[in-house]
Amino acid sequence: MVLRTALHVVALLVLPPLLLGVINRVKSIFGGRRGPPLLQPYLDLAKLLRKGAVYSRTTTWVFRAGPVIGLAATASAGLLLSMGGAPAPIAFAGDFVLFAYLLGLGRFFTALAALDTGSSFEGMGAAREVTFASLAEPALFLCLLVLARATGSLSLSGMLGPDLDAAWSSAAPGLLLAAIGLFVVALAECSRIPVDDPNTHLELTMIHEVMVLDHGGPDLALILYGAAMKLFLFGALLSRLVLGHGAGALASEALFLLGVLAFAVAVGVVESVMARLRIVRVPQLLVGASVLSAFALVLLLR
């Protein structure tokens, strides 16, 4: 068990950039290109880490703290999540609230760092990001409540533990709806298409990318790494929710890895076949996800 938990910490630290590579590869294949190598995000991160950092004179310590706290909060949230069936390093009743708000803390400091630059453009990005985050949060909580109700456990390890497999046989429709809601939340939280386009640098439509425009070098590397890790967390959550346990430890782990990669492929497919939504339509999507998860909860409460 200790070995498996250690394995998950290593996976949490090492695998996230690979997901970005997989997403880019899927998008390239859809576009008829060969695309960058799968490990390109690692090379990008290494390149950024070797660069120096430039800080504007108008910024304060908040600007420098933003990327560090963002990454630290995401990594701590990762410690609460049980991956592939082994219990998480930290687990207690109600830890799903901490999970959601650790992600919130990371976003809060990213937004603060953006505001700290004093650029009105970054302020606009921060405003958009927190607006959409406030709409995604109810959906995330409703999904987690569905899990809590289905498994009768209040900690993430319990929600994603063995009880979940039993819950699938009794409450499959509700869990399926929650999984769909969670996927939409994942797309919104990780600022992927159709909510936000990570590749765009068009002023009118940028959301997340605006906030990190003034970061460079190692800071940018931390931010990109943190964003990839967030994607990995949602992938882990969904993979566990949808695929469940395998028989035995090894099969469990294999299934988990497969699920996370499948999540990356699914995100890539969504990004390739869908256009980005207009910003006024994004709240509709997120409220829709909330309504679906609320419906799932109602089904389970009956």
Partner 1 sequence: MTSLTDLVFILVVVIDFFLLASSRLGAAIRAVATQGALLAALPLLLLEGGHQVGHVLLLAAGALAIKGALIPWLMFRAIREASIRREMEPIVGFVPSMVLGGIGVALAFAFSSRLPLPGGEAHPYLVPTALSTVWSGMLLVVSRRKAVNQVLGFLVLENGVYVFGLLLTGIMPVMVEAGVLLDLFAAVFVMGIVMFHINREFASLDTEKLSALKD
Compare residues 50 and 278 and give the one whose CB is closer to partner 1: 278
Minimum CB–partner distance for residue 108 and partner 1 (Å)? 25
Minimum CB–partner distance for residue 159 and partner 1 (Å)? 22
Among 112, 257, 265, 299, binds partner 1 (CB under 8 A): 299
Compare residues 177 and 231 and give the one whose CB is closer to partner 1: 177
CA dist 120 and 131 (Å) reads: 16
Q: What is the 3-state secondary structure (H, E, C) of the chain?
A: CHHHHHHHHHHHHHCHHHHHHHHHHHHHHHCCCCCCCCCHHHHHHHHHHHCCCCCCCCCCHHHHHHHHHHHHHHHHHHHHCCCCCCCCCCCCCCHHHHHHHHHHHHHHHHHHHHHHCCCHHHHHHHHHHHHHHHHHHHHHHHHHHHHHHHHCCCCHHHHCCCHHHHHHHHCHHHHHHHHHHHHHHHHHHCCCCCCCCCCCCCCCCCCHHHHCCCCCHHHHHHHHHHHHHHHHHHHHHHHHHHHCCCCCHHHHHHHHHHHHHHHHHHHHHHHHHCCCCCHHHHHHHHHHHHHHHHHHHHHHHC
CA dist 121 and 118 (Å) reads: 9
Among the listed ranges 5-13, 74-82, 124-132, 169-177, the one in contact with partner 1 (CB under 8 A) is 169-177
Residues 52-91 contacting partner 1, CB under 8 A: none
302 binds partner 1 (CB under 8 A): yes
Minimum CB–partner distance for residue 143 and partner 1 (Å)? 15
Residues 171-230 contacting partner 1, CB under 8 A: 172-173, 177
Compare residues 177 and 255 and give the one whose CB is closer to partner 1: 177
Compare residues 224 and 292 and give the one whose CB is closer to partner 1: 292
38 binds partner 1 (CB under 8 A): no
Residues 256-285 contacting partner 1, CB under 8 A: 283-284
Compare residues 144 and 221 and give the one whose CB is closer to partner 1: 144
150 binds partner 1 (CB under 8 A): no
Compare residues 98 and 287 and give the one whose CB is closer to partner 1: 287
Cα 27 from chain centroid (whole Å): 19
Compare residues 57 and 302 and give the one whose CB is closer to partner 1: 302
Minimum CB–partner distance for residue 238 and partner 1 (Å)? 19
Minimum CB–partner distance for residue 94 and partner 1 (Å)? 24
- Contact residues: partner 1, CB under 8 A: 172-173, 177, 283-284, 287-288, 290-292, 294-295, 298-299, 301-302
